[in-house]
Chains A and B, each alone.
Chain A
Amino acid sequence: MVKASQQEYEELIKGIWRDNPVFAQVLGMCPMLAVTNSAINAIAMGGATFFVLVGSSFLVAAFKSWIPKQVRISCFIIIIATFVTVADYTLLALIPGVHKELGAFIPLIVANCLILGRQEAFASKSTIRLALLDAIGMAAGFMLALLMLGAVREILGDGALFGIKLFGTQFEPWVIMILPPGGFLTLGLLLLLFNWLAVKRRKFLDEVIKAERGQS
């Protein structure tokens, strides 16, 4: 067992909160808004993206010295497309119902700028180990964001979570939440919350630094 260095730990953890692909980088908005009308869809989409991102980060990092710089984007896309095809057929075989609901958005993972962005910005410049850690962290952050959005929208829009009714039959669903405007509203409010927390954290850290300076 190799002990994880501080840098490796950083690469893994940064994607989950600080550099969260959705809340901090605002990437991958298309699947984010389109398929998060229920928690199940969000999980399936997050899982597929996780598989594609980790797989292609691994391959890109492994082959980085053989990929000519001039055609690197097309090479990345071919690698990503391979994994997307695998994910597409796997979902079709395992959960055809969810696959049908996600529809065109599974093939569209190819165009998810989060995945291409990680290859271009990170995997093509680092070791396999770091690229894997980064991909796992980013994909987990993306999944977390999808799940948050999906859960909020399903609870309000349908009174259920993972298809299980949470409230009685009296519950009046918020129809807008499972419609596209609900996606925009929820995403906007979550971004607001995330930024608010980030500002609060920064202020807190500033004060800590100030206090430490005052002591020394």
Chain B
Amino acid sequence: MQKHDPQLLLQHSPILRHDKTTPGVMLDVLLALSPVTIASIWLFGLSAIVVLAACISGAALTEYFFTPTSKRRRILLDGSGLTTGLLLGLTLPPALPAWMAFLGGVVAIGLGKIIWGGLGSNLFNPALVGRAFLLATFPNAMTTWVEPAGSFWNLPSSTLSLPFTLDELDAVSGATPLGLMKFEQQGTPFLELFLGNTAGSLGETSGLLLILGAAYLLLRGDMDWRIPVGILLTAMLFSGALSLVDPTVYPTPLFSVFSGGLLLGALFMATDPVTSPSTPTGAWLFAIGIGVLVILIRVFGGLPEGVMYAILLMNAASPLIERFTQPRVFGYDREDSS
């Protein structure tokens, strides 16, 4: 029997312990997303519940089947798959068939996370991988938008299409504010954008609730404030400069920030700690890159919305950014530190 000296405490790193755990952070994110989720159900009715549930079950089932049995319980209960599924669901159009949403959840977890080695190893934001797959696979269904129905029992026929089919839409279809701006040069009143009574993805319409949720996350210290602030400031400055050049063609800064998925992306997706740089300088660079790309794609690209591609592109760049912004190690020369 080995005897320990009570005076000498032997312990290997990590010495500094933090009371934040993955399930805790994920619970915070879910809480922060709950106002938006409730609003999406309020605005789009039963179809929102069906789409969100399909996404989450797709994500959870994939996670269940592709994790080792010994780790299954811990991985399923840490809530990260649930968060991915919910975030993916919030970026989808309300009338999307449930089977497509389910497939999106499968791809988001399977190709976005498991294949890279699970939580913390993925290069791209899993929810956005799922969405990018869906947009490339079903461009038709993914760009069919409906006006908020205002009634809970609203369920467009396309939502319950049989697997591998797509039923005709029987609801009132409508263009998103960004689509109206791009193709018809028609603005949308700020108050509608702010409160969310417009056509769009489930969770992107209400700026107010997104900001409320993000404020909660900021207070809890779960996200890097530099990233959303950087993205939104860059987007505002860039689109402000453009709208000074020609206000009839280019949207105003406020419109740019509150329309489309910019708030949802900037507040909840770009801030994913796994896929964004962890150094402060890196976070600023990452954020500025996203802000510039979003406006570039929206204004000069062929698509009305570019938040998803902007974030995915900067995700790809983030290991490089991180490498170039490593702080100098104390006691070493500038040349030695690299």
Contact = CB atoms under 8 A, between A and B. Distances in A.
In this complex, the interface size class of chain B, counting residues with CB under 8 Å from chain A, is: 10 to 19
B165 interface: yes
B136 interface: yes
B136 A167 contact: no
A172 interface: yes
A44 to B, nearest CB: 26
Contacts, number: 31
A175 interface: yes
Interface in B118-154: 133, 136-141
Contact of B137 (A159, A167, A168, A176): A176
Contacts of A172: 97, 138, 140-141, 161, 164-166
Contacts of A177: 137
B137 A175 contact: yes
A208 to B, nearest CB: 24
A169 to B, nearest CB: 9
B164 A171 contact: yes
B117 to A, nearest CB: 14
B138 A175 contact: yes
A174 interface: yes
A170 B165 contact: yes
Interface in A157-206: 159, 167-168, 170-172, 174-177, 179, 181, 185
Nearest to B167: A170
Nearest to B135: A176
A176 B137 CA distance: 4
Given A170-B166, A171-B164, A176-B136, 10 more contacts: A159-B164, A167-B164, A170-B162, A172-B138, A172-B161, A172-B164, A172-B165, A176-B133, A179-B136, A185-B111
Interface of B: 97, 111, 133, 136-141, 161-162, 164-167
Closest 8 CB pairs of A and B: A170-B165, A172-B166, A176-B136, A176-B137, A174-B137, A171-B164, A172-B165, A175-B137
20 contacts: A159-B164, A167-B164, A170-B162, A170-B164, A170-B165, A170-B167, A171-B164, A172-B97, A172-B141, A172-B164, A172-B165, A174-B138, A175-B137, A175-B139, A176-B136, A176-B137, A177-B137, A179-B136, A181-B136, A185-B111
